[in-house]
A and B are shown apart, each in its own frame.
Chain A
Amino acid sequence: MDDLTIVLLTLATLSGLGIILALILYFVAQKFKVVEDPRIDEVDELLPGANCGGCGYPGCRAFAEACVTTDNLDAFYCPVGGNELMKNVADALGAEVSEKEPQVAVVKCQGSPEHRKDIREYDGPQNCAIAHSLFGGTTDCANGCLGLGDCVEVCTFDAIHMNPDTKLPDVIEDACTACGACIDACPRDIIELRNVGKKSRRIYVSCVNTDKGAPAKKACDVACIGCGKCVKICPFDAITLENNLAYIDYEKCKLCRKCVPECPTNAIVELNFPPRKPKAEKPAGEKTPKTEAKAKKTVAAEKTEETKPNTNQDK
């Protein structure tokens, strides 16, 4: 066999092999072709890609798949992207979606060391779930925040931090996407998702203690003692009392703030409201701006009177 034949033979064998394998691959690809709805990719592109699980699906891709296969998008909501994103998704799929009230995580405990004294020591693993399984906590309140930061650990958006002064978690409202990870992580169900409300204004009972009044108050100055005063004063029936603990329904609450000063232990918290005027001056409230205005006018008048003669003199 001369050299040329060897080369030609090799070429022929390899190209033959290549063609056969290509044919096999082609038929296999035809046979096992996975038909995926191209819209899944489209929707996936729109999603934030945080894979936080706040929508109830294991990740953004799974959410996209579910969105594409459903008839009604109303049950779907991406808390990270909010209504705007859901509208984009609906547009991409040619469907309709109803708007949802945006929500935010709220920590329902005010038991800082100042209000709730430590009476025990804990030296076990710094993990709320473990501490919760071992005992009621370092204070006498067996319902409140343990302060070991399981909620901080799980937050993918860096939206919750332990405050070193209060030893309680603070929610950074702008960063919170209401994905609900901290709610699942908290062994004591202290964190709740509530509607953001108009101008981010919210009123809620910042306590989860279900003890009777006396032991609750003894354990913590700012505990809800279940006295029911707020329930009586609420004009909208938004407050309910169960297990010695008041709860404000954010759907019913009209943010009138009547319950806040009524609470004897300051357990009801108002957020992002303008400062309140002292109560006694309220009836005179309507007059004050006018009188002030009058006063200003008179001052201004005096000034003009003073200046006038001067100008005259100058002339």
Chain B
Amino acid sequence: MLKTFPKGGVHPAENKMAATAEIQSLPLPKQVVIPLAQHIGAPAQAVVKRGDVVKTGTLIAKASGFVSANIHSSVSGKVKKIDNVLDSSGYKKPSIIIDVDGDEWEENIDCDPALINDLSKTPEEIKQKIMEAGIVGLGGATFPTHVKLSIPEGKSIDHIIINAVECEPYLTADHRVMLEKAHEIMLGTSLIMKATGVDKAIIGIENNKPDAIELLSKIAKEYKGIQIDTLKVQYPQGGEKQLIKAVLDREVPSGGLPLDVGCVVQNVGTAIAVYEAVQKNKPLIERVVTVTGKSVNKPINLMVRIGTSANELIEAAGGLPDDTGKVVNGGPMMGKAISDTNVPVTKGTSGILIFNTQESKRAKIYNCIRCARCTFVCSQGLEPFNLKNIAEINDWEKLEKEHVMDCIECGSCSYTCPAGVPILDYIRLGKSTVSQIIRSRKK
């Protein structure tokens, strides 16, 4: 029997239409808008000003603290201005706007696709390179990678897990990356292993990607300590905690981190970014984005420079269909509808998903029928209906006691609710309020 996590989970229709579409490079846009807050933690601080000439890969904003990340120019050209621009959060945020002029890269970046298998760098050097390159988790949570790889004193880890699950329906960016950049993944994984001093790595892939499993299993033999695990298709297996449970059968304690059970989880895309940063000096300036949807003309996977407007991606996929209901940044389960298609692609944009009017409608809300389906599907063992009720009456103390902070916001509860109750909306509100309360208590 295939491995999976034991508690809860759902299996929505996969709809991976773009799985066979090879990654294409999107032509350079005329202008890029690079938000200063693209990662979890403190926003970066701009180090360029209006009129400055930048090259592709030039540092334009510096990390402002340990949990923060550098940001580099994704194009060459001139800084037009630094202004507040609407991004996928739905609000105007400080961003650097650059007018594109040619494509001149910084001299130290190696654009040669030849593989470099060199593990002579020390762990500190590797981490330093990762930090300088501004790499963040590319799975969607955008947590700065150098922070994740810095193992605090007193903790020890024995496994690196590479997250190649891509459990979100529709999205195929990671799948294509595995098929087209398999060696880079392996080399990146080896570097992460070196950086953390671990000799075992497991790549977890769901068995709806047999071609990727076959390819990676074949080449994994060439690399020391890397093993491929085939997993049963189940959402939200791509969640860190679920993946660890599925692969290693270890349970991350409530309020704990994967570090507490001896592992670090990294996304496949992040592994490639690590490889490119360490061996090729290439900062995180582009990523693969899936543009898809049932009504989309040609669902595609695009290699996109950070800061490109989502409009251009949609154009490349054949334009916005007439029956568009919503455009979602990310996958259908955890993604968020964007309020304007003219928002920039950021480090965390894994997909642009276009729902038609039929799909995008919210279900009519009825009263809870106490069927407990949300509780059955919750892979964190929570009681979503209860959390929702408590959040609705603003009883934040009780909500904290009911472990709302353990919710991973996967949306399985809202997905499965036959009464159409927007459970996750309320839980998310509760979670953000409770986390604010916890933060203010620490101060």
Contact = CB atoms under 8 A, between A and B. Distances in A.
Interface string A112-130: 0000000010011101011
A135 B429 contact: no
Contact of B429 (A123, A129, A142): A129
A124 B422 contact: yes
The range of chain A's interface size is 10 to 19
Contacts, number: 37
Interface string A83-94: 000000000000
Contacts of A124: 362, 422, 425
A266 to B, nearest CB: 24
Interface string A203-242: 0000000010000000000000000000000000000000
Interface in A132-160: 133-136, 142
Nearest to A135: B90
A136 B92 contact: yes
A135 B426 contact: no
Contacts of A123: 361-362
Contacts of B432: 133
B91 interface: yes
A124 B361 CA distance: 10
Contacts of B422: 124-125
B159 interface: no
Contacts of B63: none
B186 interface: no
Nearest to A154: B394
A136 B340 CA distance: 11
Interface in A155-172: none
B311 interface: no
A243 B89 CA distance: 21
B336 A142 contact: no
B86 interface: yes
Contacts of A125: 422, 425-426
B429 A136 contact: no
Contact of B91 (A120, A127, A129, A142): A142
Nearest to B336: A134
B134 to A, nearest CB: 27
Nearest to A187: B429
B339 interface: yes
Interface string B230-242: 0000000000000
A163 B84 CA distance: 32
Given A124-B425, A130-B429, A136 B339 contact: yes
B191 to A, nearest CB: 37
The range of chain B's interface size is 10 to 19
B428 interface: yes
B302 to A, nearest CB: 25
B426 A130 contact: yes
Interface string A45-87: 0000000000000000000000000000000000000000000
Contacts of B426: 125, 127, 130
A134 B362 contact: no
B86 A136 contact: yes
Interface string B45-89: 000000000000000000000000000000000000000101001
A123 B428 CA distance: 17
Given A120-B339, A123-B362, A124-B362, A136 B91 contact: yes
A12 to B, nearest CB: 54
Nearest to A184: B394
Interface in B284-298: none
Nearest to B362: A123
A123 B420 CA distance: 13
B95 to A, nearest CB: 14
Contact of A130 (B340, B361, B425): B425
Contacts of B340: 120
Contacts of B339: 120, 135-136
Contacts of A120: 339-340
Contact of A133 (B84, B362, B428): B428
A125 B392 CA distance: 11
B90 A136 contact: yes
Nearest to B392: A127
Given A133-B432, A135-B339, A142 B92 contact: yes
Given A120-B339, A130-B425, A130-B426, A135 B91 contact: yes
Interface in B314-370: 336, 339-340, 361-362
A129 B422 CA distance: 14
A120 to B, nearest CB: 5
Contacts of B336: 134
A127 B429 CA distance: 10
A142 B361 CA distance: 24
A178 to B, nearest CB: 21
Contacts of B425: 124-125, 127, 130
A185 to B, nearest CB: 9
B394 to A, nearest CB: 9
A130 B430 CA distance: 10
Contacts of B89: 135
Contacts of B429: 127, 129-130, 133
Interface of A: 120, 123-125, 127, 129-130, 133-136, 142, 211
Given A123-B361, A125-B425, 5 more contacts: A124-B422, A133-B432, A142-B90, A142-B92, A211-B92
4 closest pairs, A vs B, by CB? Answer: A135-B90, A135-B339, A125-B422, A125-B425
29 contacts: A120-B339, A120-B340, A123-B361, A124-B362, A124-B422, A124-B425, A125-B422, A125-B425, A125-B426, A127-B426, A127-B429, A130-B425, A130-B426, A130-B429, A133-B428, A133-B429, A133-B432, A134-B336, A135-B89, A135-B91, A135-B339, A136-B86, A136-B90, A136-B91, A136-B92, A142-B90, A142-B91, A142-B92, A211-B92
